[in-house]
Amino acid sequence: MTQTGAVRQQSRHAALGLTDRQVIEMYETMMRARRFDERCLLLQRAGKVNFHISGIGQEPSQVAMAFAMDFEKDWFLPYYRDYAFVLTVGMTLKELFLSLFAKAEDPNSAGRQMPGHFGCKRLRIVTGSSPVTTQVPHAVGFAYAAKLRGESSVAYVSFGEGSSNQGDFHEGCNFAGVHKLPVIFVCENNGYAISVPLSKQTAGRISDRAIGYGFPGVRVDGNDPLEVYRVMKEAHERALNGEGPTLIEVMSYRLSPHSTSDNDLAYRTKEEVEAHRKNDGIPAFRNYLTEAGLWNEERENELQARIRKELDEAQAYAERAPFQSVEDAFRYVYAEEPSSGEGR
Amino acid sequence: MTQTGAVRQQSRHAALGLTDRQVIEMYETMMRARRFDERCLLLQRAGKVNFHISGIGQEPSQVAMAFAMDFEKDWFLPYYRDYAFVLTVGMTLKELFLSLFAKAEDPNSAGRQMPGHFGCKRLRIVTGSSPVTTQVPHAVGFAYAAKLRGESSVAYVSFGEGSSNQGDFHEGCNFAGVHKLPVIFVCENNGYAISVPLSKQTAGRISDRAIGYGFPGVRVDGNDPLEVYRVMKEAHERALNGEGPTLIEVMSYRLSPHSTSDNDLAYRTKEEVEAHRKNDGIPAFRNYLTEAGLWNEERENELQARIRKELDEAQAYAERAPFQSVEDAFRYVYAEEPSSGEGR
Amino acid sequence: MPVIEYIEAIRSAMKEEMERDSRVFVLGEDVGLKGGVFTTTKGLQEQFGELRALDTPLSESAIAGVAIGAAMAGLRPIAEMQYSDFMFPATNQIISEAAKIRYRSNNDWDCPVVIRAPIGGGVFGGLYHSQCPESVFFGTPGLKILAPATAYDAKGLLISAIRDPDPVLFFEHKKCYRLISDEVPEGEYTVPIGKSRVMREGDDITVIGYSLPLHFAMEAAAELAREEGVEAHILDLRTLQPLDREGILEAASRTGKVLIVHEDNKTGGIGAEVAAIIAEELLYDLDAPIRRLCGPDVPAMPINPPGEKHFMLNKEKLKTAMLELARY
Amino acid sequence: MPVIEYIEAIRSAMKEEMERDSRVFVLGEDVGLKGGVFTTTKGLQEQFGELRALDTPLSESAIAGVAIGAAMAGLRPIAEMQYSDFMFPATNQIISEAAKIRYRSNNDWDCPVVIRAPIGGGVFGGLYHSQCPESVFFGTPGLKILAPATAYDAKGLLISAIRDPDPVLFFEHKKCYRLISDEVPEGEYTVPIGKSRVMREGDDITVIGYSLPLHFAMEAAAELAREEGVEAHILDLRTLQPLDREGILEAASRTGKVLIVHEDNKTGGIGAEVAAIIAEELLYDLDAPIRRLCGPDVPAMPINPPGEKHFMLNKEKLKTAMLELARY
Ligand SMILES: Cc1ncc(C[n+]2csc(CCOP(=O)(O)OP(=O)(O)O)c2C)c(N)n1
Ligand SMILES: Cc1ncc(C[n+]2csc(CCOP(=O)(O)OP(=O)(O)O)c2C)c(N)n1
Ligand SMILES: [Mg+2]
Ligand SMILES: [Mg+2]
C-alpha cells in the first residue's frame, strides 16, 4: 500500500503495527488452512481417511492470534481445531497430511494420535491429547517455568467453550491468576460442543469468568482478525510485563459438523449454518485487503493455484509415506536410555 | 420485645420477619455450638479424643443460614466446620459427642468417619466426606431431583474458600446455572486453607465467580447474622421461585488452628488472631439482643449453666457408649438386602 | 426370539426401565437431542422429555457428581460417559463418593447410580477413544462393575444395574455395538449381577474372559474343534466386581488348563485377580501354568491401521494361544 | 552410618536434589511456609525461596497439571498430594496426560514429574486419611510407581525418581514417617527403580510385599525363627511399576511357599499381579497355594480404634498367616 497524501488515514493494520506483507501473509495462511480443511473433508468422504475434525470458520482468528506470538520464545498449546494456528507458527501442509494419514513421519505423533492432536517440539507446540481442557494447567506450568527461570516467554492455550466447563479450566485459570503468570487463555467459542449449544453449556459469559480469578477477560469477534490481533497483542504485552494472564473469548461459529462422524442436522438446521456462513471472516478480510489496495483478483487466482499445488504435493507425499512399523508401535512407553540426570 | 409507641422503629430482626423468640434461639444455638467446640478442643488437649476440627468464629453465620432454610423440605450438605448449622437443623449435642468419640450410636457414620463429617437422613443432612468440594455437585443433584419431581425443595451446600478452587466447584455451579436449579452455594471464607491465606488461593473474589455462571453472587459479613439471614432468605426465595442458584460468600475468620493437628503459629501471628477475635459475632449479637431488650446477664448466666449441663450429660453419655463392634465394622459395603426395585 | 444388536439391547433396557420407573433418567454429553454420539440414547428425549434425557455441560465430574446427588435424593440416574477414556475426570466422584456413601454413612444413605461408558478399540479411535479403564476402578470396594459381551447380557445386566441399590459401572464395548447381535426376549428380564456364564462347553482348555475378546475366542474355539479336535470351555465373567469365584473355579477345574483373556492391558488387569484366585484355590488341579492373553502394556492403541491391528486381540491370536495351551 | 527417620530421608532427598539441580522444585498444598502437614518439606522454602517451594491453591488437578506442564518445559517438579486419598481429582492428569506424553508424541516430549503422596493407615485418620491408592494407578503403563519401606530406600528411590526421565508416583507410608528409622549414608546415593530387595533370607516360606506391612513381617519372622524354627525369606518389592519379575520369581522359587502381603485391599491389588506372575512362571515349583494377606475389601478403614485395628495388618496377623503357610 502506498501512502501518497499526508491526509491519508493510516490503515487499521498499520495502526496495529502490522505491515502490508504481514496482513497478506495472514490472509494467505487463513486461505491455506481453509483449503486444507476442505481437502480433508473431501478425502474422508472419498473413504481415503477415516476421520477429520474441521476448523472451518475459526481460521481468521487463529491466524491473527498466532501473529501476536513470538515463535522463538513462546509456547503453544493449541486445541484440535487450530490448524490455521499451527500452520502460522510453522507446521507444514505435508506434516498435517502426514498426521491426517497417520503416517510414521508425522511429527505430531508418528500417526499414533488422531489428526488435530498437535505436538512438535521444534515448533514449540506442546503435545496435546483428546480429553479436553487438560492442556490448560499444562500451559500454566509452562508459564510457571518461564517465571521460575526468568525467561520472557508466554504460553498460548486454546479450548472450546464447552471445554471451559471442565474443572481443569477453573483450576488452571485460578492458579495462573494467583501467581500472575504469563499465559493467555483462549476460548474459541464456536457456539456448539458437538450437539450441545452454548445456552445449554453455560448461563454466563465465558469471558466474565476471568473476573473471579482477578484478571481481565475480553470477548472479541473472531471474524475480525485485526481486532483479534489487537486484543492478543495486548494480552501478550501484559504477560511479558508481569501483569499476569488474560482470558480471551473468541466468538465464531462452527461451520462444519463437529467431526466427520457427526450428523449436525440432528441438532441444527441448514438455514442456521447458512446464515452464519455469511459472516465468514475470510472473504471479509479479502475485501479489507482489496480496499486497502493490497489484493486483487489476479493475486487471488495465483494464490488459489499455488495452494492447490501445495496441497496436491503434500497429500501425494503423505499418501505414499509408510506407516510406523509394527516393530516401533510399542516404543517410547518409557525413555529408552536413562537420562544422565545432570542438573544445570 | 414490646413495641409501645407507634413511632418506635421496627427492630432489624422484626423487619426481616424474625420473631424475638427466634433471635433468642439463634443466639442460644451459636453459644451452644461455641461451647461444644471449646469442649472438644479441651477433650483433645486432655488426650480423650484424637482429633477435632473447629468451627469457632463461623457460628453466627451458620446459625443464621440454617434459620433461612425449611427443615421439612430442604436438603443440607454442610461442610466440616458447620457444627452450628447442624445443631440448628436438629442434630443434638449427644449425637455430636457420639461422633467426636467415634461411637456406634453416632448417626453420622457410627464412628467410622472423622468428627465434622456430617450425615443424617432423618435431618435431611446428606452424608459428606473429607475430599473437599465433592458435595457441591451432589447438592446440584439434589436440586435437580427437586426440579424433576416438581418439589419445592432447596439444597444448601457449604465449603471453604480454598475449596472453591477445586474443579468440582466450577462444574457444579455451572451445571446449576444452566438449569436454574434451586441450590444455594455458600463459601465460608475464613481467610485460610490450612496454612495458605486467601491471597495465595485466589486473586479474585469468590462471590464474583457467580457472574461467569449467570447467577448472582453476594458477599456478606459473617459476623452480622441478621444480614446473613437476609441474604440467605433472598437466595432461598429465588430458588423456590425457579430463578436459580445464588452464590454467597460469607466473610469470617478461622479463630482456631485448622484442626487439632495444626500449629497455626507456623504461618500466622497471635496478634493477627487476637485482632480478629475482637470482631467475633457472638458477643456482638448478644449486645444486639441486650439493646433490643431481649437479653440480660441473668439470662446469659442461665444459658451458660444450661449449656454446661447439656454438654456434661451429652459428653458423659458418649464417652460411655460402645464402639461399633468389629463384627459390624465391615458391614454395608453393599446393600445387605437387594432392593425390591419397585418403581413409583 | 428376535435377534437384536448389542446397542439396541442397551437402548431398549433404558427405554423400558424409564417407562416402568419414573425415577430413572439419563444424563450426559449429547445424550438428549442428538441421542448420543453412538445413538445409544436415541429416542429417549422425544419420549421422556428434556428433564429425563438431559444434555449436560461438558464436565464429567459434574455428570457423575450430579448423578450421585440425584441418586442419594432417591432417583435412579443413568450417567453416560461419552467414552470411557473421558471418565477419568470423574474418578474422584466415583471412587471417593459413589463407592463409599453407603459404607461411610453406616447404611443411612445409598447411591443407586449407573455409570455407562463405552470401552475398547478396533474402531480407529486412537489413543483416547479406545481404552479399557477397568483396572482403574476394579480395586475399589463399593462399586459393582459389569462388562457384557452379548446383546442378551447387555440388556439383562443393564436392567439389573438400574434396579441395583448400589453404584454400578457399566462398560459396554463400542466395537460390539453393531458387530454383535443375538437373541433377546421381547419381555422384561434381568441377568443377575455377580454370575458368570458358560458360553461354550469343552474339556480340553478353559478360556475365561469378558467383553469383545470372547467372540474371538468363540470363533477360534469353533475352528480348533473342527481342525484340531480341541474342545474349549469358555466362561464369560460378565460381572467383574464382584467376581464370580465359584464360576471361575468350576470352569478352571473342568480342564485344568486356563487361558485368561481381556483387551485391557495385562499388568494389573482383571486377569491378574482371576489368576490369583485360581492360584490360591486350585493349585493342585492345574495341568498347565495359568496364561493371560491381554492388551500390551502400552499406554493405548495407535490410530494407524497396522498399529491398531498389532495392538488388538483377534481370532488368530486367540487360536494360537489356545492351541498352545491345549498342546501343553 | 547415621540412623535417620523415614520422613527425614524423604526431606533430605528433596533438599539435596534441589541443591544439586536448579530445575527441581516442590509444589503442593501447605508445602511452603508451613513445610507440609507432616513437615516433609520443612525448611525448603527458607532455603530455596517461594518459587521453588510453592504453596498452591487447593486444587490437585492443577497441582498435577501445572507440574506436568513444567516438566514438559524442562523442569523437574515434585508435586505433593497432601494425602493419597486426595489425589483422585488429579487422576485424569496422571493417567491421561503424564503416563501418555512420551508415547503419544513418539518420544518428542517427555514428562519427568514426581508425584509424592502419603498412603496408608494406622494413624486414626479414618476413611479418607488412610487409603492405599496403588491399584488405581498400577494398571496404567507409562507410570512408574515406588513404595519404599525403609529410610534408606525412601531417600535413594526418591533421588532416582527425581532424576528419572519419566513420571513417577512416589507412595510414602505416613505411618512409617516416624516409626521407621534406619541407616542412611551421608553422601549422595540412588536406589535403582525396578529392583526388589531381599530383606531377610530364609528357606521355609517367602513373603513378598512392600511398604509398612513388611515391618510386621520382619517382626513376625524374628519370632517365628525363635519360637518355631521357621525361617522366612522376605522380599521388598520397593518398585511396584515396573515389577521386578526376576526378583519375584527367585524369591518364590527359593521356598516354594509364597505369602503376598500389602495394606491395599486384596481384590485387584498389586498382590494379584504378583500371584499371577508366579502362577504363569513357577507353577511346578510351588509347594503350597499362593496366599495373599491384604487389607479387607472394604471401602476404607474406620476411625474408631477397634475398627481401625480390625482393619489394619499387624505382626500377629502376619505371624499367623506365615506359620500356617510354613505348616502347609
Ligand atoms: C473430557 C472429555 N469429554 C468428552 C470429550 C468428547 N468431546 C470431544 S470434542 C467435544 C465437544 C467440545 O466442544 P467445545 O469445547 O465447544 O469445542 P469445539 O469442538 O466446539 O471446538 C466433546 C464432548 C472429550 N474429548 N473429552
Ligand atoms: C481434595 C482435598 N485436598 C486436600 C484436602 C486436605 N485439606 C483438608 S481441609 C483443607 C483446607 C480447606 O480450606 P478451606 O476450603 O478454606 O476450608 P477451611 O478449612 O478454611 O474452612 C485441606 C487442604 C482435602 N480434605 N481434600
Ligand atoms: Mg464449541
Ligand atoms: Mg478457609
pLDDT tens readout for residues A312-334: 999 999 999 999 999 999 999 99
State residue A341's pLDDT score.
43
Cα separation, B250 vs B62, whole angstroms: 9
B11-43 confidence digits (pLDDT tens): 999 999 999 999 999 999 999 999 999 999 999
C121-176 confidence digits (pLDDT tens): 999 999 999 999 999 999 999 999 999 999 999 999 999 999 999 999 999 999 99
Closest ligand 1 atom to residue A166 Cα is 1
CB within 8 Å: B194 and D129: no
Q: Which domain holds residue C234?
A: 197-327
- Quote the number of domains for chain C: 2
Phi, psi of B46 (to 5 degrees): -80, 0
State residue A338's pLDDT score.
56
Among chain C residues, the shortest Cα distance to D282 is held by C289
CATH assignment at residue D242: 3.40.50.920
Cα separation, B315 vs B309, whole angstroms: 10
pLDDT at B241 over 70: yes
Residues of D in contact with A133 (CB under 8 A): none
Residues of A with CB under 8 A from a CB of C: 50-51, 102-103, 111-114, 117, 129-132, 162-163, 165-168, 193-196, 200-202, 261-262, 266-267, 323-326, 329-330, 333
Is residue C35 in some structural domain? yes
Residue D57: which residues within 8 A CB-CB, separation 6 or more? A171, A174, A175, A178, B162, B165, B193, B196, B200, B201, B202
pTM value is: 0.98
CB within 8 Å: C275 and D270: no
Is residue C190 in some structural domain? no
State residue B341's pLDDT score.
43
Write down which chains contact chain D via at least 3 CB pairs under 8 A.
Answer: A, B, C
Statement to judge: residues D10 and D82 lie in one domain: yes
**Catalytic status, residue B317:** no
Q: Is B162 in the pocket of ligand 2 (CB under 6 A)?
A: yes
pLDDT band at A7 (very low <50, low <70, confident <90, very high): low
Phi, psi of A265 (to 5 degrees): -75, -5
Statement to judge: residues C131 and C205 lie in one domain: no
Task: Return the H-helix or E-strand segment holding C173.
Answer: strand C168-173
CATH assignment at residue D8: 3.40.50.970
Statement to judge: residues C172 and C233 lie in one domain: no
Domains, chain B, with CATH or none = 2-72+99-189+214-262+269-321 (3.40.50.970)
Question: Of the residues D127, D152, D183, which one is the last residue of a structural domain?
Answer: D183
State residue B2's pLDDT score.
46
Statement to judge: residues D147 and D212 lie in one domain: no
Per-residue pLDDT of chain D (328 residues; tens, 9 = 90+): 899 999 999 999 999 999 999 999 999 999 999 999 999 999 999 999 999 999 999 999 999 999 999 999 999 999 999 999 999 999 999 999 999 999 999 999 999 999 999 999 999 999 999 999 999 999 999 999 999 999 999 999 999 999 999 999 999 999 999 999 999 999 899 999 999 999 999 999 999 999 999 999 999 999 999 999 999 999 999 999 999 999 999 999 999 999 999 999 999 999 999 999 999 999 889 999 999 999 999 999 999 999 999 999 999 999 999 999 999 9
CB within 8 Å: A136 and D93: no
Q: How far is D284 from chain B (nearest CA, A)?
A: 37
State residue C1's pLDDT score.
87
B164-207 confidence digits (pLDDT tens): 999 999 999 999 999 999 999 999 999 999 999 999 999 999 99
**Lookup result for grid cell 481417511:** A49
Question: Of the residues D183, D211, D228, which one is the last residue of a structural domain?
Answer: D183
Statement to judge: residues D37 and D127 lie in one domain: yes
Is residue C112 in some structural domain? yes
Statement to judge: residues D161 and D218 lie in one domain: no
Statement to judge: residues C143 and C21 lie in one domain: yes
Contact D62, B203 (CB under 8 A): no
Q: How much is the average pLDDT of B238-244?
A: 98
Statement to judge: residues C82 and C119 lie in one domain: yes
State residue A139's pLDDT score.
99
pLDDT band at A9 (very low <50, low <70, confident <90, very high): confident
Closest ligand 1 atom to residue A258 Cα is 19
Contact A232, A64 (CB under 8 A): yes
pLDDT at A1 over 50: no
Average pLDDT, rounded, for chain A: 95
Cα separation, A298 vs A31, whole angstroms: 15
pLDDT band at C80 (very low <50, low <70, confident <90, very high): very high
Is residue D45 in some structural domain? yes
**Residue B282 corresponds to which cell in the numbers above?**
457472638
Average pLDDT, rounded, for chain C: 98
Residue D117: which residues within 8 A CB-CB, separation 6 or more? D80, D81, D83, D84, D87, D133, D169, D170, D171, D172
Cα separation, A333 vs C294, whole angstroms: 17
A145-171 confidence digits (pLDDT tens): 999 999 999 999 999 999 999 999 999
Ligand 4 midpoint to CA B188 (Å): 7
Is residue C248 in some structural domain? yes
Statement to judge: residues C164 and C241 lie in one domain: no
Number of the ligand closest to the Cα of A160: 1
State residue B337's pLDDT score.
75
Distance, C-alpha D308 to centroid of its chain: 21
CA-nearest residue, atom 26 of ligand 2: B131
Distance, C-alpha D313 to centroid of its chain: 16
Statement to judge: residues D174 and D219 lie in one domain: no
Q: How far is A151 from chain D (nearest CA, A)?
A: 12
Statement to judge: residues D160 and D259 lie in one domain: no
pLDDT at B335 over 90: yes
State residue A337's pLDDT score.
75
pLDDT at B343 over 60: no
Q: Smallest Cα–Cα separation from D13: which of D188, D210, D238?
A: D188
Contact C181, C150 (CB under 8 A): no
Tell me the percentage of chain B whose pLDDT exceeds 70.
Answer: 96
Cite the DSSP H helix spans in D170-314.
176-179, 213-228, 245-255, 270-281, 305-311
* Chain C contact for D92 (CB, 8 A cutoff): yes
Question: Of the residues D183, D214, D238, which one is the last residue of a structural domain?
Answer: D183
Q: Is B130 in the pocket of ligand 2 (CB under 6 A)?
A: yes
**Residue C211 corresponds to which cell in the numbers above?**
467383553
Question: If 0-12 CB within 10 Å is exposed, 13-18 middle and 19+ buried, where does residue A81 land?
Answer: buried
Statement to judge: residues D228 and D170 lie in one domain: no
Residues of C in contact with A195 (CB under 8 A): 30, 33-34, 55
Is residue D188 in some structural domain? no
In angstroms, the Cα distances linking D275 to C39, C192, D280, D286 are 42, 29, 9, 12
Is residue D190 in some structural domain? no
Q: Is A168 in the pocket of ligand 1 (CB under 6 A)?
A: no
Q: How far is B337 from chain A (nearest CA, A)?
A: 37
CB within 8 Å: C276 and D276: yes
pLDDT band at A340 (very low <50, low <70, confident <90, very high): very low
Give the catalytic positions of C in this structure.
129
Residues of C in contact with B148 (CB under 8 A): 25, 51-52, 70, 75
CB within 8 Å: C104 and D298: no
Q: How far is C197 from chain B (nearest CA, A)?
A: 21
The interface pTM score, or ipTM, of the predicted complex is 0.97
